[in-house]
Amino acid sequence: MLKKRIIPALLLKDGRMVKGKNFSQFRDVGNPVTAARVYNAQKADELVFLDICPTRESRQVVCHIIEEAACECFMPLTVGGGISSCEDIKDFLDIGADKVAINSAAVRNPELIREGAEMFGDQCIVVSVDYKTRSDGTRRVYIDSGKTEVDLDPWEHIQRCTALGAGEIMLTSIDHEGMMQGYDMDFIAMVSGMIDVPLIANGGAGRLEDFKQVLAETRASAVAASSIFHFTDQSPIKTRFFLSNNGVNVRV
């Protein structure tokens, strides 16, 4: 049986690891390579690195972080932030990333998904979808690390991305992100029940029960989280024991 995955997400800004609430109020939470080492020791299933302020300079720093992490962390590494061409994808795969997360370019240039999937295989193309829910209950996609609203429904966007060859979808509710009050269950349940590729649910974990809820009640293949690992004494290792004891199929 395929196991559900626990994926710490490391947000990067100017070479440091940061964490915010609803994609703002970022604070420094340490050195990303050190954190990756710790997560490796705690048997995380994968790691996701996201550069939230991608620039030409930050790209070099992120590459360096991935290179260092890849020397010691023998698990899948996903990297995202400012990826807009097949050359970008190749650069990251060449230095040790296994997958890339495409966010803004999936809206501005969806063909990149098809090109990337054809060139490198769909297994390494993760499309990261950030969205907010409006007061009338409709949802809108956001890009540029949550700074730009797009007149696009996330479910419509996800369908287009999977049709183009996205190998996985990482879904983040900006409203829930960093609030540690649980995941956006309804939408995760809906999307994970409809798509044919794995869904990584992200944004909102504050308690171990939140992981359990997503993994037991929806068809999400994985949970991503960061605040719970930065700001509480929970770790991937404690998470997997809790989940395993509660009947969720995880690595122990």
Q: How many Cα neighbours within 13 Å face the side chain of 14?
A: 4
- Member of 38, 70, 86, 237 binding another protein (CB under 8 A): 70
Contacting residue, 15, 219, 232, 241, with another protein by CB under 8 A: 219
Q: Which of 79, 141, 214, 222 binds another protein (CB under 8 A)?
A: 222
Closer CB to another protein, 116 or 203, in the complex: 116
Q: What is the DSSP letter of 4?
A: P
- Report the residue number, 2 or 137, with the smaller CB distance to another protein: 2
Pick out residues in 5-64 that bind another protein (CB under 8 A).
5, 40, 43, 45
How crowded is the C-beta side of 105, counted as CA atoms within 13 Å?
Answer: 23
Residues 65 and 44 sit within 8 Å (Cβ to Cβ): no
- Of 1-9, 48-56, 127-135, 174-182, the window that binds another protein (rule: CB under 8 A) is 1-9
CA distance 44 to 239: 10
**Torsion angle (degrees, nearest 10) of CA 226, 227, 233, 237:** -20
Picking from 141, 15, 16, 170, the residue whose alpha carbon sits closest to that of residue 78 is 170
Reported as type and span, the H/E element at residue 18 is: strand 16-21
Please report, as residue ranges, which positions from 92 to 111 form the binding site for another protein (by CB under 8 A). 93-96, 98
Least Å distance between CB 123 and another protein?
A: 4
Measured from the CB of residue 183, what is the shortest distance to another protein in angstroms?
19
Q: What residues line the site for another protein (CB under 8 A)?
A: 1-5, 40, 43, 45, 70-72, 74-76, 93-96, 98, 120-124, 167-168, 195-198, 219, 221-222, 251-252
